[in-house]
Structure 1
Amino acid sequence: MTHTARRIGRTLALVLPVVMVLSGTLAVTRVSWSGDTTESQLLTAASETTVSKRARTPRAPQDVLRDKLLVEMREKDPGVALTELQRTVEARPSMARHCMAIAKALGKAAVDQYGPTRAHRFSRPVCDTSFASGVARFS
């Protein structure tokens, strides 16, 4: 009987602190840390203010273009995306300084989707062959 009681005691000694820590962690997520008892704050990994600030911050045009071209590449093929990149740079010369980075990102995505051998087939002289550089780098 004493041996069984000792075993139960050891088990509780190991399990109880874990249960207490978890329940304590859950309890403090609803504590009002500002001292204002009228408002309770929910503590999360990403606070609401950070998320709302990010949502209000406009994305850079080159990021929007890169994401659009990556989607286009997945839906069609890298050749279509590269043609669109070249047309965009011709229409908006300010995007030329971002052309190489976007083309390399397309090259990496093409390797991920098609494999290195097939991705090389889509290479074109867009942005000083940066697409081919991206394919070679991630092959």
Structure 2
Amino acid sequence: RRLNRRPPVTLLDVFQQHVRRRPRHPLLRFQDEVYTYQDVERRSNRAARHFSHHLGLRPGRTVAVFLPNEPTYVWTWLALAKLGCPMACLNCNVRGRALQHALAAARATIVLASPGEWLPPPLPPPHGGGGGDTA
């Protein structure tokens, strides 16, 4: 079969379509809280403005996200998608050297984490001279 020639549909496109069609329908339930499509749209727009104005995020800038499974993760992801920033998802249960490795592999210039979350220092550069990527 031939691929459709239309631009591909992203999850952000689908989300925004639902926001237009059913803004007051529940999208997310977390503990005793319910968030509608409209709630999540507003929160993700607010987060996108904050990330753009206060962190200087621009399209193409990779952002590592070190957040637990909670609603903030959803609107953070949507905000980054709206800004055109690739998101490197870090497992918030990983610590130590494994987390250092994940941070280095992400090549992100910014890490978003929960308040008070401790992140390890970056790994030292590999030994062996050359300065170039050997992978």
Does TM-score exceed 0.5, indicating one fold?
no
Question: Which of the pair has more CA radius of gyration?
Answer: 1
TM-score (norm 2): 0.24
Higher strand share: 2
Structure with more helix by fraction: 1
**Structure 1 length-normalised TM:** 0.23
Q: Which has the higher contact order (CA 8 A, sep 6+)?
A: 2
